[in-house]
Amino acid sequence: MKKILISDQVNEKSVSLLQSAGLEVTYNTTLSREELVKAIPEYNALIVRSATQVDAELISHMVNMEVIGRAGTGVDNIDVKAASRKGILVMNTPGGNTISTAEHTFAMILALCRNIPQAGKSLSEGRWDRKKYSGTELRGKTLAVLGLGKIGKEVARRAKAFGMDVIGFDPLLSSGTANELGIEILSLDQIWPRADIITVHVPLNDSTKNLLAKITFEKCKKGVKVINCARGGIVNESDIVEAIESGIVSGAAFDVYVKEPPDFSNSIFNHPKIICTPHLGASTEEAQELVAIQIAEQIKEFFLDSKITAAVNISGFAESLDKESLSYLNLCETLGVFTSQLLNDQIKSIDLTLTGKTLHKYSTEFSTAFQKGFLSGRVSQIVTYVNAVLLFDDLKIPVNIKKSEDSNVYKNLVTVEVNTEKGKRIFSATLFGLDEIRIVQIDNYKVELNPAGYMLLYTNVDKPGMLASVGSVLAEANINIAGLSLGRIEKGENALTIINTDSRIPDSIIQLVKSINGVYEVFQVSI
């Protein structure tokens, strides 16, 4: 039974969902760092929000961990690279807090334009400052949305309802979608002098850190307002205070900070023209319930159905593949497992040739699947889609992806050429029907092998009685034959025989097969 630890506070419906699926759940939000480090080796999954710091040191203690789930969008508190190298999948719930965050962003826009917090505070202090807190309308103003993912789009929709002109920046947004939303897509340099209000909805990375800073503010329209409900660090906290004091920026609103909890000596917290909230973007009952249930569903499906959803350390992977492509993904992994067990010589490089246009679209995914299968059982650690390529890189074995058009025989064909110190080995596979894997070439031999269960492979002299001799050895050992595939190059020369068996063949029986006159190389393979 898979064991799941939930170390941050989540909606308890997620706990019930996991338990009802037959998974063992520990819900403990009071663990100290030392207690967490001590407990973590026994768990297969970890669910967190933002409180638990899943850093490289904690990840180093994860012995059985397969997946880390973040109930929310950001994974700033998770060392994704360390998890990837360890072979651990990292999932989040990118859509769960979309509406909540978009609504909070718009609340900040309204509060900033109408001075609501400041005016409310003045009343509580016994003052009637109507003139001091006069605001501005949204109608007719230009809102710049930087980052038009799910949240950015929802903010844009609400802005249009208020009669605002919306401009935006997002290299990944299609012109068709932009037109549907009524958004004018511009470059950043075109946005700065036009925007009355700027709101950011981009991830925090090297290219977006300090996206709005001194050099940016100097290009902006005088009196611009800035909102950051995305990630701390996208807007430079020191520079914006300076920009407000100089009159370039008329006000700002922050829900996120470089450091959380922040240093309250930071001047943004007592500035009269800056509104601050304590990271409330996703803090609604509806959003918290939704993200908790979403991550629980994702982890349940991962363990029960091998389904990968919203993984941040593999690029869309299985969730983006159609049914046929998923079958070829399985084929490539199976071919990797099969090939690996037939190689004893030092490997110099591997060439993976994908024949047929159907295979070209997901060539990277198919290569990763092959590498995962190839290393499974050859290295001591768990191999996953996440760390397979990294492990190959560590081994300094180059895997070259090649693409070819349709072959003469098969519409789609996966061929692996393994270059070893003793020469080249060739293996090819295709699908029969929708999902039946068949290995159709091993070196120079044409075969039709169903790679499933236990298989005995051996080369032998092509003469009568060879199959009977091997069959007799297996029969005496009570090993039942489930299938048979034969291949030869020329009559009377060498042949390749592959026998599918219902059970594993003991080493002692393998030795008896090897001792038969006319039998050469013998391998037992299992899938």
Kind plus residue range of the DSSP H or E element containing 289? helix 285-305
Is 201 catalytic? The answer is: no
Q: For residues 216 and 226, what is the distance between their CA atoms, to the nearest angstrom?
A: 12
Catalytic annotation present for 448: no
Q: How far apart are CA 135 and CA 133, in angstroms?
A: 6
Q: Is 382 exposed, middle or buried (0-12, 13-18, 19+ CB in 10 A)?
A: middle
Catalytic annotation present for 425: no
Taking 3-state DSSP, the helix, strand and coil percentages for the chain, each rounded to the nearest 5, stand at 35, 25, 40
The two structure tokens encoding residue 178: 């932009």
* CA nearest to 71, candidates 214, 359, 282, 228: 282
Taken in order of first residue, the domains within the chain and their CATH numbers are 3-94+287-313 (3.40.50.720), 98-276 (3.40.50.720), 319-526 (3.30.1330.90)
Active-site residue among 49, 85, 231, 488? Answer: 231
Exactly one of 260, 286, 319, 436 is catalytic; which is it?
A: 260
Predicted confidence pLDDT, tens digits, the chain (527 residues) = 899 999 999 999 999 999 999 999 999 999 999 999 999 999 999 999 988 999 999 999 999 999 999 998 778 799 987 887 787 889 988 778 889 999 999 999 999 999 999 999 999 999 999 989 999 999 999 999 999 888 999 999 999 999 999 999 986 676 777 898 999 999 999 999 999 999 999 888 777 889 999 999 999 999 999 999 999 999 999 999 999 999 999 999 999 999 888 989 999 999 999 999 999 998 898 988 999 999 999 999 999 987 888 787 765 555 556 778 878 988 998 999 999 889 877 788 999 999 988 899 889 889 999 998 998 767 655 677 777 887 788 778 899 999 988 767 888 999 999 998 789 999 999 999 877 899 999 999 999 999 989 999 999 999 899 999 999 999 999 999 999 999 988 887 889 999 999 999 998 999 899 999 999 889 999 88
Q: Read off φ and ψ for residue 224, nearest 5 degrees.
A: -60, 150
Active-site pick, 201, 279, 425, 488 = 279
Locate 284 and state its tokens. Answer: 């609604």
pTM: 0.59
Q: How far apart are CA 160 and CA 166, in angstroms?
A: 7
CB atoms within 10 A of CB 90: 24
Q: Are 458 and 467 in contact (CB under 8 A)?
A: no
